[in-house]
Structure 1
Amino acid sequence: MLVSVTGGTGLVGSHTVAALVADGHRVRLLARDESTVDRALSPLGVGAGAVDVVTGDVLDELCVARFVHGADAVLHAASVYSFDSRRHREMGAVNVAGTAAVLDAARRAGAGRVVYVSSFGALLPARGRVLGPRSPVGRPRERYLATKAAAETVAREHQAAGAPVSITYPPALLGPHDPKMGDQTTRLLNTLRGRMPIWPLGGLPVGDVRDTAALHAALLAAPGNGWERVFGPGHHLTTRAYVRTLREVTCRALPTVYLPARAMLPVGVLAGLLQRVWPWHIPAEYGAIYTCACAARVDAGADTGGVTARPVAETFTDTVRWLHREGHLSARAAGAAGVRVHAGEPR
């Protein structure tokens, strides 16, 4: 089977490509810069010759049409995932217009299966703070989440028209080998570096990118038109549980103060305004605080495509270990999770 994949050099896309190649499928990537492909995939055991690359952008309709031509299935994972206020305009273009372009092209090309990678955040704020496949599209009061909600509407319109589109809702994802050091990896990194001593109360679903990749590989190979809306495997963590798990895997104290999330929202607004002129990243992001304030849980009965979420401590340990091995964390900051690398465990 030939699968065309956007976003294949990002965290979700690269791990999904590795899962597809391991299952024996042919993969075609759409990438703005071909030089980023090997850097993203080689650490996952996918050689340079294992995928075909179409150089281009999701906003280029002719390029997208060529990219999906002849594909048996399409995975649209390309997205600007960031709470950085400096990227608001880019989010609107890529997340909304890009999704429309790719899904329209895939439908015209007759792809037998299309998987759109949404986000649980596209359904926020949730009624009763519980998310499920019947949850309506959200009306989040945050720019990134709002663009994902708008793209979600586009995908649901294709579903309503009978197109073979599946929508997945990954949790906040961690795991080893993050090619672009995305939002969640950076947040964990900043916590271990002592740059986030204050956390909002609340919580969020957290999962392992390898589990979501396994879900995507299963959906793309599935026959028929089932599995319309599927949640990525994960666990709901309060922010206290998040930090506590990091303490357990690193054996570090990580002193932390917790404040009500809604009381911290004005701080996030001010940080976003300052970020537009401040050249360095400010960890106090409105979007992250807002997500914790919503504190939405995924319905325990929601379908995860038959993939069981691995223990969250395993995900945190593997992420910290990778960050240390790649030089992003010192041995002291990685703590016990980093020490185990030097005790003879596989690298």
Structure 2
Amino acid sequence: MLVSVTGGTGFVGSHSVAAFLRAGHRVRLLVREPSGVDRALAPFRLGRDAVEVVVGDVLDVEAVSRAVRGADAVLHAASVYSFDSRRYASMRRTNERGTEVVLEAAREAGADPIVHVSSVAALFPARGRVVREDTPVGRPRETYMASKAAAEAVARRHQAEGAPVVITYPPALLGPHDPKLGDQTARLRDVLRGLMPMWPLGGLPLGDVRDTAALHAALLASRGNASNRYFGPGHYLSTRQYVQAVREVTGRPLPTIFLPARAMIPVGLLAGLAQRVWPWHIPAEYGAVYICACATRVDENADTHGIVPRPVAETVGDTVRWLRGQGHLSARQAGVAGEDLSPVTAS
């Protein structure tokens, strides 16, 4: 099967591409920077010669059409995932308009399935205490989440029209081999660098990127027989449980103050305004506080295509080991998790 992939040089995309190739599929990538292909695939012992490359952007209708032409299936994983206020304009364009362009082109090309990588955050704030496949699209007051909700609405419209669009809802993801050191991985690094001694109360859904990649590969194997919405395997953790998991994995005390999330929202808003003019990243982000305030659990019966999430300790431990191995953390910062520098498994 030929699978066209957008976002293939990102965290979810690169792991999914590796899973597709291991399953024997051929892969074509739509990329803005061809130089990023080798960097993204090298940890999986793959090179640029393992995939076909089309140069272009998801906002470029012609480039997208070339990328999906003749494809049996499409994985749309391209998005801007960040709570950084400096990236608000690009995430609005890429996440909503890019989804419109890619899904329309994939339908015209006759691809089946067309997998749209959404986010569980697209369903927040939820009306009930859990989210499930029929939970309405969220109406969040945060730019990244709002952009994913808008993209979710696009994907659901295609589903309502009978298109073979499958939506996946990954939780916040950690794991090794993050080619662009994305938001969640960088946040864990900042925790261990002592830059986040204050956390909002609340919680977050957390999963392993390798499990979400396995879900995407499984969806290709069930072509024509898949349902149309799946949750990425994961766990719901309170922020206290998250910090405690990092303490246990690293053996470090990590003194932390927990404050009500809604009381911290004004701090996040001020930090976002300052970030627009301050050149260095400010760890206190409105979006991160907001999601802790409104995140709810995924229904335990929600469909994950039978994939069981790996333990949180394994995910956090492998991420810390990878950060240490890449030089993003010192030996002291990584604690006992950084003592084993053997390669972290990519599957």
Task: Give the TM interval when normalised to the shorter protein.
Answer: over 0.9
2:236 matched residue in structure 1: 236
Cα pair 2:70 2:109 within 8 Å, conserved: yes
> 1:24-35 alignment to 2 at 5 Å?
24-35=24-35
Rounded Cα–Cα distance in structure 2 between residues aligned with 1:112 and 1:291: 33
- TM-score normalised by L of structure 2: 0.98
Rounded Cα–Cα distance in structure 2 between residues aligned with 1:162 and 1:245: 43
What do the CA deviations read for 1:164-198 (whole angstroms, capped 9, x no partner)? 00000000000000000000001000000000000
Rounded Cα–Cα distance in structure 1 between residues aligned with 2:227 and 2:309: 18
- Look up the equivalent residue of 2:146 and give its one-letter code: A
What do the CA deviations read for 1:78-102 (whole angstroms, capped 9, x no partner)? 0000000111110111000000000
- Look up the equivalent residue of 2:216 and give its one-letter code: H
- Look up the equivalent residue of 2:167 and give its one-letter code: I
Rounded Cα–Cα distance in structure 2 between residues aligned with 1:90 and 1:73: 26
What is the percent sequence identity of the aligned residues? 70
1:161 matched residue in structure 2: 161
- Look up the equivalent residue of 1:202 and give its one-letter code: G
SS at match of 1:282: coil
1:39 matched residue in structure 2: 39
2:267 matched residue in structure 1: 267
Rounded Cα–Cα distance in structure 1 between residues aligned with 2:295 and 2:68: 37
Rounded Cα–Cα distance in structure 1 between residues aligned with 2:328 and 2:334: 10
Rounded Cα–Cα distance in structure 1 between residues aligned with 2:69 and 2:296: 39
- Look up the equivalent residue of 1:195 and give its one-letter code: L
Rounded Cα–Cα distance in structure 1 between residues aligned with 2:86 and 2:112: 37
Cα pair 1:164 1:225 within 8 Å, conserved: no
- Look up the equivalent residue of 2:339 and give its one-letter code: V
CA drift at 1:225: 5.1
- Look up the equivalent residue of 1:63 and give its one-letter code: A
1:95 matched residue in structure 2: 95
Cα pair 1:219 1:227 within 8 Å, conserved: no
- Look up the equivalent residue of 2:124 and give its one-letter code: L
2:205 matched residue in structure 1: 205
CA drift at 1:226: 2.8
Determine whether 1:332 maps to 2:332.
yes
SS at match of 1:128: coil
CA drift at 1:305: 1.0
Rounded Cα–Cα distance in structure 1 between residues aligned with 2:4 and 2:85: 31
Rounded Cα–Cα distance in structure 2 between residues aligned with 1:48 and 1:85: 33
SS at match of 1:127: coil
C-alpha change, 1:159 and 1:225, in structure 2 (3 Å) is: farther
- Look up the equivalent residue of 1:48 and give its one-letter code: R
Structure 2 unaligned segments of length 5 or more: list them. Answer: none
Runs of 4+ in 1 over 3 A off after TM superposition: none
CA drift at 1:223: 2.3
Rounded Cα–Cα distance in structure 2 between residues aligned with 1:326 and 1:226: 38
- Look up the equivalent residue of 1:316 and give its one-letter code: V
Rounded Cα–Cα distance in structure 2 between residues aligned with 1:29 and 1:316: 29
SS at match of 2:224: coil
Cα pair 1:2 1:26 within 8 Å, conserved: yes
- Look up the equivalent residue of 2:8 and give its one-letter code: G
Rounded Cα–Cα distance in structure 1 between residues aligned with 2:295 and 2:99: 27
What do the CA deviations read for 1:43-67 (whole angstroms, capped 9, x no partner)? 1122221100000000110110010
Rounded Cα–Cα distance in structure 2 between residues aligned with 1:164 and 1:221: 14
2:276 matched residue in structure 1: 276
Rounded Cα–Cα distance in structure 1 between residues aligned with 2:308 and 2:146: 29
1:53 matched residue in structure 2: 53
Rounded Cα–Cα distance in structure 2 between residues aligned with 1:2 and 1:49: 15
Cα pair 1:129 1:294 within 8 Å, conserved: no
2:308 matched residue in structure 1: 308
CA drift at 1:295: 3.0
> 1:100-111 alignment to 2 at 5 Å?
100-111=100-111
Cα pair 2:124 2:295 within 8 Å, conserved: no
Determine whether 1:121 maps to 2:148.
no
- Look up the equivalent residue of 1:43 and give its one-letter code: P
- Look up the equivalent residue of 2:327 and give its one-letter code: G
- Look up the equivalent residue of 2:266 and give its one-letter code: P
- Look up the equivalent residue of 2:165 and give its one-letter code: V
SS at match of 1:340: coil
Count of residue pairs the alignment pairs up: 344
- Look up the equivalent residue of 2:45 and give its one-letter code: G
Structure 1 unaligned segments of length 5 or more: list them. Answer: none
- TM-score normalised by L of structure 1: 0.98
Rounded Cα–Cα distance in structure 2 between residues aligned with 1:162 and 1:96: 20
Rounded Cα–Cα distance in structure 2 between residues aligned with 1:112 and 1:167: 13
Cα pair 1:119 1:171 within 8 Å, conserved: yes
